[in-house]
């Protein structure tokens, strides 16, 4: 384990946002394993929050079992609570949650949200917002297991319908319940053309 400094992705890798719980239905854990298998089939690396429990642990364990590449990023205060995954050789320790998100974003070439709770939503909305502002141009996907993200997509659509964001912002992300279809959609994704609030020299 090493104290981390900012870097950039050296190979295609997906940053996975997901829960520290597994949910009440076994369908969520099964979907996490299926998604991990698809990462392995495509030789995509995994970047994730470094945990050993919940959906995070399931994804990491599945990628490890398949011999895949994993980088974990975890704040020191969580590592000391023994939530850190002991099997990850490339584990980056960072001082804060903010530093964790920044490093994960630097290390990946795409983002995928699996079912999770408040932390997953917060991570997802940050990368959506930064993509909206033109600071990121990396594909974002929602693995919509059993319709889990339907209310969230509906909320964003409602925001567009009521004038709080643009309809084009619905194109900032791809949605599918099938891991292969989701990654296919993300491979062909291009940033929507949206008038920016800030010019490039103002960012």
**Above 50 in pLDDT, residue 73?**
yes
State the pLDDT at residue 86: 92
Instruction: Domain of residue 111: give its range.
Output: 2-202
- The residues facing 5 across adjacent strands are none
Question: What band does 8 get if pLDDT is binned at 50, 70 and 90?
Answer: very low
Worst-scoring range by mean pLDDT, 16-30, 54-68, 78-92? 78-92
In the predicted model, what is the mean pLDDT of residues 13-36?
97
Q: What is the CATH number of the domain that holds 39?
A: 3.40.50.450
State the pLDDT at residue 80: 74
- Looking from the CA of 132 toward its CB, the CA atoms found within 13 Å total 15
**3-class SS of residue 197:** coil
User: Which candidate, 97, 151, 114, 133, places its Cα nearest to that of 38?
Assistant: 114
Cα dist from 97 to 9, 48, 49, 79, 94, whole Å: 19, 13, 10, 12, 8
Instruction: Work out the angle at residue 14's Cα, subtended by the Cα atoms of residues 13 and 17, and round it to the nearest 5 degrees.
Output: 150
State the pLDDT at residue 203: 45
How confident is the model over 112-171, as pLDDT tens digits? 999 999 999 999 999 999 999 888 899 999 999 999 999 999 999 999 999 999 888 999
CB 32 within 8 A of CB 114: yes
DSSP 133: T
What distance in Å separates the CA atoms of residue 86 and residue 64, rounded to the nearest whole number?
11
**Above 70 in pLDDT, residue 30?**
yes
Cα diameter, the chain: 49
Any idea which residue has 């384990």 for tokens? 1
Question: What band does 193 get if pLDDT is binned at 50, 70 and 90?
Answer: confident
Average pLDDT along the chain: 90
- Would strands 2-3 and 91-94 be described as parallel, antiparallel, or unpaired? parallel
DSSP H helices, the chain, are 26-41, 54-65, 76-79, 97-107, 118-132, 150-161, 179-187
Q: Six-digit token pair at 169?
A: 């912002």
Provide the number of structural domains found in the chain: 1
User: Which candidate, 71, 49, 57, places its Cα nearest to that of 2?
Assistant: 71
CB 126 within 8 A of CB 119: no
């Amino acid at each position: 384990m090493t104290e981390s400094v900012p870097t950039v992705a050296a190979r295609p890798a997906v940053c996975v946002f997901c829960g520290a719980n597994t949910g009440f239905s076994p369908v969520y854990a099964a979907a996490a394993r299926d998604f991990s298998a698809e990462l392995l089939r495509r030789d995509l690396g995994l970047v994730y929050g470094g945990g050993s429990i919940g959906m995070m642990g399931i994804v990491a364990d599945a990628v490890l079992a398949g011999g895949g590449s994993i980088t974990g990023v975890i704040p020191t205060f969580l590592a000391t609570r023994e939530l850190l995954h002991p099997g990850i050789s490339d584990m980056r320790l960072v001082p804060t949650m903010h530093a964790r998100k920044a490093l994960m974003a630097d290390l990946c070439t795409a983002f995928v949200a699996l079912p999770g709770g408040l932390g997953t939503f917060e991570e997802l909305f940050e990368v959506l917002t930064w993509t909206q502002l033109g600071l990121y141009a990396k594909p974002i996907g929602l693995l919509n297991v059993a319709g889990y993200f339907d209310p969230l997509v509906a909320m964003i659509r409602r925001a567009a319908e009521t004038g709080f964001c643009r309809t084009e912002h619905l194109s900032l992300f791809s949605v599918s319940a099938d891991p292969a279809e989701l990654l296919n959609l993300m491979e062909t994704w291009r940033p929507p053309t949206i008038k920016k609030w800030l010019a490039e020299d103002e960012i």
